Amino acid sequence: MKKGWKIALLTVGLLLGGIGGLVGLVFYATSGVVTAADGFLAKIGTGQLHAAYEETGAAFKKDLDEPGFERLVKELGLDGYASRTWSNRQLANSSGEVEGHVTTRAGEEIPLKLTLAKLDGAWRVVGLTSQKAVSVPTVREPPELVPLRALVTRNMLDFSAAVLTGKFESFHATISKLWQKQIDPAGLKTAFAAFLDPRVRMPAIDESQLVFDQPPIVDEGGLLHVTGYYVAASRVGFKLDYLWEESWKLVGLKANTNAVSVTRYVPSDAALKPVVQASLVAFAQAIKSRDMKSLYAGVSKIWQQQTTPAGLEKAFAAFVKKKVDLSHVGERAPTFTEPAHTTDEGVLIVTGTVPLTPAPLKFQLKYLYEHPSWRLLGINVSTLE
């Protein structure tokens, strides 16, 4: 996780835009605004963060959830509130501002501006701004592959246990606070009722059989999106969404059995050529050595499930018997004779030739994306003699 230093200039919810020029008023005119602001800070200073959050307006809550509010308060040091000094008070119609600084119990002074609005007869905090420099964690990249595999498998095992027992309390305890606020264990049970049907079998979850069929990404909103499946007799597909809450926590899950790959993007020819060359070199080495174990180790998990090294030896016995010389295949760039494309099942098909002597090699290769690379699902080759 990357951390960047920036000025905390967070203004949440309603601002005083659209209001005519703010006019300084006498203190008694702003007493309601000041009283509400003081009460808000007092609750923060005594650790009543939930109560303080409840004194904010709906627009504030929409822009900043309660865990985010708690993190902001602690980052700014407002949880150490002892007293305040307001150097500026303003009021216009049903909106007001107080600006000055907060003094903490440790003696630190924190610049602060609170914007309030009168909503349903009560003053509510709708904006909080501070120019104090704070360290704000900014997650920009997905986790490394190894911990991500462990995280996804742990979540899917928890989900599988909930489905098998019909009890979602333990699974509910592992998801993000945001999702917990939106749904309770009973709601999760209802949402995933289709998996509770006795006719639906949840296959075993095995990390060694995990495939990410698209590169995990973090979107502009900070959500981590992960899709893939577990290779089993009945494939378990998933789409998981995560939110950073001091660690990645689930904020959404979609799952299905008998899943197929969802990869649809096609790499450029420039990106495909080294992939194809590496596949053909591995094939050539397997033919020359009469040993398919290395080739087998590099193919997709789906193909590994469908065949064995002995099965590959049988499939390509004619090449071995004829001692077809493919030793120069890695020295010649392949030519694609038709555009690469993916099927509805997410299989990438690449067709072309390699200019070998005495005759070109014609190939059609099939791939599945298993993050972080494309891996062979099928080889069809012939020499054009």
pLDDT tier at 280 (50, 70, 90 boundaries)? Answer: very high
Query: CB–CB of 376/279 below 8 Å?
Result: yes
pLDDT greater than 50 at residue 16:
no
DSSP type of residue 107: S
Residues 362 and 249: their CA atoms lie apart, in Å, by 48
Summarize the confidence of residues 159-176 as an average pLDDT. Answer: 94
Q: Tell whether omega for the bond before 67 is within 30 degrees of 0, i.e. cis.
A: no
* pLDDT for residue 135: 47
- Is pLDDT at 213 greater than 90 in this prediction? no
Q: Model confidence at 11, in pLDDT bands (50, 70, 90)?
A: very low
- Rg of the Cα atoms in the chain: 30
Is a pLDDT exceeding 60 seen at residue 172?
yes
Strands 348-354, 361-370: pairing is antiparallel
Q: What is the pTM (predicted TM-score) of this model?
A: 0.53
DSSP at 56: B
Integer Cα distance of 55 and 36 in angstroms:
9
List, in sequence order, every residue forming a beta bridge with 330; answer none if it has no partner.
Answer: none
| pLDDT for the residue numbered 129 | 86
Residue 383 pLDDT: 80
Query: Which secondary-structure segment (H or E) carries 36?
Result: helix 31-45
Tell me which of 266 and 173 has the higher pLDDT.
173
pLDDT score of 26: 37
The percent of residues in the chain predicted with pLDDT above 70, rounded, is 87
Q: Residues 334-345: pLDDT tens digits?
A: 999 999 998 877
Among 144-148, 185-189, 199-203, 327-331, the least confident range: 199-203
Does residue 206 carry a pLDDT above 60?
yes
pLDDT value for 373: 86
pLDDT winner (highest mean) among 61-75, 92-106, 163-177: 163-177
When pLDDT is averaged across residues 290-303 and rounded to a whole number, the result is 91
At 274 the pLDDT is 94
pLDDT for res 104: 94
| Mean pLDDT rounded to a whole number for the chain | 84
List, for residues 118-139, the tens digit of each pLDDT value: 888 899 999 898 877 554 445 5
More confident residue, 221 or 184: 184
CB 121, CB 78: distance < 8 Å: no
For the chain, give the percent of residues with pLDDT over 90.
46
Question: Which amino acid would we find at residue 37?
Answer: A
Does the pLDDT of residue 64 top 60, yes or no? yes
Do residues 304 and 312 make contact, with C-beta atoms less than 8 angstroms apart?
no
In the predicted structure, residue 13 carries a pLDDT above the cut 80: no
Confidence of residue 59 (pLDDT cuts 50, 70, 90): confident
Residue 49 pLDDT > 90: yes
Question: Is residue 94 exposed (0-12), middle (13-18) or buried (19+ Cβ within 10 Å)?
Answer: exposed
Q: Set out the domains of the chain in order of their start, with CATH numbers.
A: 3-137 (3.10.450.100), 145-257 (3.10.450), 269-383 (3.10.450)
pLDDT band, very low/low/confident/very high, at 327 (cuts 50, 70, 90)? confident
pLDDT at residue 21 in the model: 33
Region 275-281: what's the mean pLDDT?
94
pLDDT tens digits along 22-45: 333 334 445 789 999 999 999 999
Q: Are 368 and 261 a contacting pair, CB within 8 Å?
A: yes
- What pairs with residue 228 in β-bridges? 212, 238
